[in-house]
Amino acid sequence: MSYKKRKIVNKLMLTISVFTFLIGAFFLFWILGDVFLKGARYINWRMFIEVPKPPGVPGGGIGNALVGTFILTILASIIGVPIGIMVGVYVNEYGRGKLAWWTKFLTEVLTSFPTIIIGVFVYIILVVPMKSFSALAGGIALGIIMLPIIAKSADEAIKMVPISLREAAYALGIPKWKTILRVVIPSASGGIITGIMIGIARVMGETAPLLFTSLNNVYWSVSLTKPIGSLTVTIFNYATSPYDDWRNMAYASAFILVLLVLFLNIIARLYAGKRRK
Partner 1 sequence: MDKIRVENLNAWFGSMQVLKNINVSLKEKKISAIIGPSGCGKTTLLRCFNRLHELVPGARVEGKIFLDNTNIYEKEVDPVMVRRRIGMVFQRPNLFNHMSIYDNVIAGYLLNNTKLSKERKDEIVERSLRLAGIWEEVKNRLRDYPSALSGGQQQRVCIARALAVEPEVLLMDEPTSALDPISTYRIEETIRELKEEVTIIIVTHNMQQAARVSDETIFMYMGEIIEVGSTSQIFTNPKQKLTEDYITGKFG
Partner 2 sequence: MKKNLGDKIFKGIALFSSLFVILLVFFLFVELLIYSFPSIKKFGIYFFIDKIWDPVTERYGALPAIYGTIVTSILALLIAFPLSIGIAIFISELAPPALKRPLSFIIELLGAIPSLIYGMWGLFSLAPLVQLKIGPFLQRILGFLPFFQGYPLGVGYLTAGIVLSVMIIPTISSLSREILMAVPIDQREAGYALGMTKWEVIWKIVLGNARSGIFAAGILGLGRALGEAVAVTMVIGNFPNISVSLFSPGVTITSVIINEFAEAAGQLKISVLMELALVLFLITFLIMGLARYYILKRIEGR
**Residues of the shown chain interacting with partner 1 in the complex, contacts defined by CB under 8 A:** 96, 162, 164-165, 167-175, 178-179, 182-183, 186-187, 189
Which lies closer to partner 1 via its Cβ, residue 27 or residue 170? 170
Instruction: Write out the binding residues for partner 2, residues 87-116 only, by CB under 8 A.
Output: 87, 89-91, 93-95, 99-100, 102-110, 112-116
Segment interacting with partner 2 (CB under 8 A) among 54-62, 64-72, 86-94, 183-191: 86-94
Interface with partner 2 includes 133 (CB under 8 A)?
Answer: no
265: contact with partner 2 by CB under 8 A? yes
In contact, 15 and 22? CB cutoff 8 Å: no
254 binds, among partner 1, partner 2, none (CB under 5 to 8 A by kind): partner 2
Residue (169 or 258) nearer to partner 2, CB: 258
Torsion angle of the four alpha carbons 241, 253, 210, 200, in this order, in degrees rounded to the nearest 10 = 160
Stretch 162-181 residues interacting with partner 2 (CB under 8 A): 175-178, 180-181
28 or 57: CB nearest partner 2? 28
Is 170 or 219 the residue whose CB approaches partner 1 more closely? 170
The window from 59-67, 183-191, 218-226, 257-265 that contacts partner 2 (CB under 8 A) reads: 257-265
What character string, x for contact with partner 2 (CB under 8 A) and - otherwise, covers 209-238? --xx-------------------x--xx--
19 binding partner 2? (CB under 8 A): yes
Distance CA 84, CA 192 (A): 10
Taking the least distance from each CB to partner 1, the nearer of 185 and 260 is 185
Q: How far is CA 200 from CA 70, 81, 240, in A?
A: 10, 10, 25
SS3 238: helix
Decide whether 86 or 169 has the Cβ nearer to partner 2: 86
For 64, which DSSP code? H
CB 107 within 8 A of CB 195: no
The answer for residues whose C-beta is within 8 angstroms of residue 136's C-beta and 6 or more apart is 75, 126, 224, 225
**Residues 118-121: contacts with CB within 8 Å, 24+ apart?**
118/144, 118/145, 118/209, 119/208, 119/209, 119/210, 119/211, 119/212, 119/213, 120/212
C-alpha 199/C-alpha 197 separation (Å) is: 5
Site track for partner 2 across 185-204, x = CB under 8 A: -------------x--xx-x
> Quick one: 170 or 263, whose CB is closer to partner 1?
170
Residue 145: what residue type?
A: I
Q: Give the Cα separation of 16 and 12 in Å (integer).
A: 6
**What minimum distance in Å lies between the beta carbon of 109 and partner 2?**
5
